[in-house]
Chain A
Amino acid sequence: MTTAITKVTTHISPNEQLIFERSQTGRIGYRLPALDVAEVELNVPNEFRRDDDLEGMPEVSEVDVIRHFVRMSTWNYSIDLGMYPLGSCTMKYNSRLNEKVARIAGFANLHPLTEEHDAQGALQVIYELQQHLAEITGLPGISLQPAAGAHGEMTGIMIIRAFLDARDGAAASHRRTMLIPDSAHGTNPASAHLSGFSVKTIRSTPEGLTDLDHLRELCAHGEVAGLMLTNPNTLGLFERNIKQICEIVHEAGGLVYMDGANMNALVGVARPGDMGVDVIHLNLHKTFSTPHGGGGPGSGPCCCTKELEPYLPVPRIVKSSDSTYRLDHDQPKSIGRVKAFFGNYGMMLRALSYTLTHGNDGLREATEAAVLNARYVAAGLIEDYEKPFAGAPMHEVVFTDKRQSRKGVHTLDIAKRLIDYGFHPMTIYFPLIVQGAMLIEPTESVGRQELDQFIAAMKSIAVEAVENPELVLNAPHDTRVGRLDEAAAARKPVLRWKEKQS
């Protein structure tokens, strides 16, 4: 099937300075009502008051602000523009209906310290989402308090630590090793460290799966508190020995933590709780479509077995026998609070809306489409790019630049050239165990035509890498700015605007 590969043309995107460079003394962009109380001498001593008149802060009109941000927005690629195949990020459609729900005044204007009886609707949302996530993961204990995936990870690992300390007492001080696969996301070891664990790396087999022999070897040392793994793993492959893996770790006295970043391959199809996993975190901003916002906000619910439930953060949101929703602070074994108030509540609203919009069969269909799309891309690229692992990928697939690098073209260059074709690049150089990794996750929010365009673009770049490598090496060609000198930026970091001293 041939598709017209339309390379992007230069976009009309006006240059736009920093707001501070556009500032004009005396301009204002707001109007507050006049002060309606008599002005008095405040009881704030002079030495506590600001004396710099907020020098340097901008003075612009409302029109200035609108144009400033609208212009800058045109420099961004986004999901609404097209396929965003970042592996491990699940860039699916961010429904506008979810946005409308989040802005309903009854939620948007509700103060978090409102007494329970005047916030029943708000608590109901949390409770219902908890129920659905428990069903989807097969794990009954849920906390929605963590604000992002890494935060949920930290919570889950702290729960493991608390459980082991309670179970083993003083002997637990010998169980301070967390096993982490060499393919793991960097937040995994960082989160383990926050709970006072040291990290030992488990090798992957040539197939790309967890090496069971190495796992047994590491567990035999006796210091193992647990295992952190992602399933499907960061290579997009399902760990088919997951039940055995959990058994090995449990037998050694440890617990299994699953990084739920790749849940988009499992929803409605398989459940971590059924696999023997003890605790997982979810990323609502991945699997449950809440918007990525240029780097958040996220939400990283932590889900666990009944046994680990007492250790979840407080307060827990529970339903009383009279059907009212309550905050339960009486959890003496809790690891404590991980964030003020309830978590990123606005994302919970959106995730619940997503769950109800899809319905139970819709959720499963989304999973099927996500996996199908990834398989389709894998089949389309296999002739031109090296696929290091033979296993059938789930919702994401990894390729390497091995063939292209022989001609001096590397993953980074391929990614930059893809921009010229109007696509956002895939995840590059992750996972670390694959040389020149390109991790592609189309998600279910892409139709066949766009998948074909993506495949055609990648095939075209593979040809260019041989016939006209300069084109790829100097990409991107049609963006506002070219490749930026990141080394110079890191050597002499300029992290804020400053008024020029004349």
Chain B
Amino acid sequence: MANVPEDLHYSKDHEWVRVDGDQAIIGITDYAQNSLGDVVYVELPKASEEFAANEPFGSVESVKAVSEVFTPIAGTVVKINEALADEPESVNSDPYGEGWMIRLKMSNPGEVDSLLTAAEYEDFTKAESE
């Protein structure tokens, strides 16, 4: 059973968002890392790059697959998780903690409200598995 923390917001592309003031931290969910398999490389943007909602900001690679990662909300990159360059496996072992990918300054803080709640995301992933 995939882990789906209550206090986060989710997207249908399997990203999670943690709100921290006017900033948001984004990563991929436990369900996503499980489908991907062992993560070998994470491609991240540079600081100060801007993204619209649902735009791809990078990609995650396993041995046999690549997946683009999308930001569910619009914003400007404030910080990226540089530790992932040396330890991409954090995405597998701790997707909601050490495996965080980018920190954005939100353009429209209200956007998070249209994302999925933990319960909604859980239902969504159950339906996808069938």
Asked if A11 lies at the interface with its beta carbon under 8 angstroms from chain B, I say no
Q: Which residues of A contact B15 (CB under 8 A)?
A: none
Contact of B41 among A429, A486, A491 (CB under 8 A): A491
Asked if A81 lies at the interface with its beta carbon under 8 angstroms from chain B, I say no
- C-beta contact mask, B24-62 vs A, less than 8 Å → 1, else 0? 000000000000011011000000000000000000011
| Cα–Cα distance between A263 and B53 once the two chains are bound (Å) | 46
| Cα–Cα distance between A491 and B62 once the two chains are bound (Å) | 9
Asked if A490 lies at the interface with its beta carbon under 8 angstroms from chain B, I say yes
**Residue of B with least CB distance to A491:** B40
Given the known A-B contacts A490-B40, A490-B41, A491-B41, are A429 and B64 also in contact in the complex, defined by CB atoms under 8 Å? yes
Contact B64 A491 (CB under 8 A): no
Asked if A37 lies at the interface with its beta carbon under 8 angstroms from chain B, I say no
| Cα–Cα distance between A429 and B61 once the two chains are bound (Å) | 17
| Cα–Cα distance between A486 and B64 once the two chains are bound (Å) | 10
Asked if A35 lies at the interface with its beta carbon under 8 angstroms from chain B, I say no
Interface size on A, residues (CB 8 A): 5
Mostly, the B contact residues are loop
Mostly, the A contact residues are helix
A463 → chain B, closest Cβ, in Å?
A: 28
B85 → chain A, closest Cβ, in Å?
A: 10
Asked if B88 lies at the interface with its beta carbon under 8 angstroms from chain A, I say yes
A303 → chain B, closest Cβ, in Å?
A: 33
Q: Which residues of A contact B63 (CB under 8 A)?
A: 486-487, 490
**Residue of A with least CB distance to B87:** A491
**Residue of A with least CB distance to B63:** A486
B36 → chain A, closest Cβ, in Å?
A: 11
- C-beta contact mask, B75-106 vs A, less than 8 Å → 1, else 0? 00000000000001100000000000000000
Q: Which residues of A contact B40 (CB under 8 A)?
A: 487, 490-491
Interface size on B, residues (CB 8 A): 10
Q: Which residues of A contact B41 (CB under 8 A)?
A: 490-491
- C-beta contact mask, A463-499 vs B, less than 8 Å → 1, else 0? 0000000000000000000000011001100000000
Q: Which residues of B contact A429 (CB under 8 A)?
A: 64
| Cα–Cα distance between A490 and B36 once the two chains are bound (Å) | 14
**Residue of B with least CB distance to A485:** B38
Q: Which residues of A contact B38 (CB under 8 A)?
A: 487
| Cα–Cα distance between A486 and B39 once the two chains are bound (Å) | 11
A151 → chain B, closest Cβ, in Å?
A: 24
Q: Which residues of A contact B62 (CB under 8 A)?
A: 487
8 Å CB contacts to B: which residues of A50-77? none
| Cα–Cα distance between A142 and B41 once the two chains are bound (Å) | 43
- C-beta contact mask, A423-446 vs B, less than 8 Å → 1, else 0? 000000100000000000000000
| Cα–Cα distance between A429 and B63 once the two chains are bound (Å) | 13
A436 → chain B, closest Cβ, in Å?
A: 13
| Cα–Cα distance between A495 and B127 once the two chains are bound (Å) | 42
**Residue of B with least CB distance to A490:** B40
| Cα–Cα distance between A491 and B84 once the two chains are bound (Å) | 10
- C-beta contact mask, A149-169 vs B, less than 8 Å → 1, else 0? 000000000000000000000
Q: Which residues of A contact B61 (CB under 8 A)?
A: 490
Q: Which residues of B contact A490 (CB under 8 A)?
A: 40-41, 61, 63
A309 → chain B, closest Cβ, in Å?
A: 39
Q: Which residues of B contact A487 (CB under 8 A)?
A: 37-38, 40, 62-63, 89
| Cα–Cα distance between A429 and B62 once the two chains are bound (Å) | 15
Q: Which residues of B contact A486 (CB under 8 A)?
A: 63
| Cα–Cα distance between A486 and B37 once the two chains are bound (Å) | 12
Binding site for B on A (CB under 8 A): 429, 486-487, 490-491
Binding site for A on B (CB under 8 A): 37-38, 40-41, 61-64, 88-89
Could you pull out 16 A-B pairs where Cβ atoms are within 8 angstroms? A429-B64, A486-B63, A487-B37, A487-B38, A487-B40, A487-B62, A487-B63, A487-B89, A490-B40, A490-B41, A490-B61, A490-B63, A491-B40, A491-B41, A491-B88, A491-B89
Known A-B contacts: A487-B38, A487-B62, A490-B41. Give 8 more (CB < 8 A).
A429-B64, A486-B63, A487-B63, A487-B89, A490-B40, A490-B61, A490-B63, A491-B41
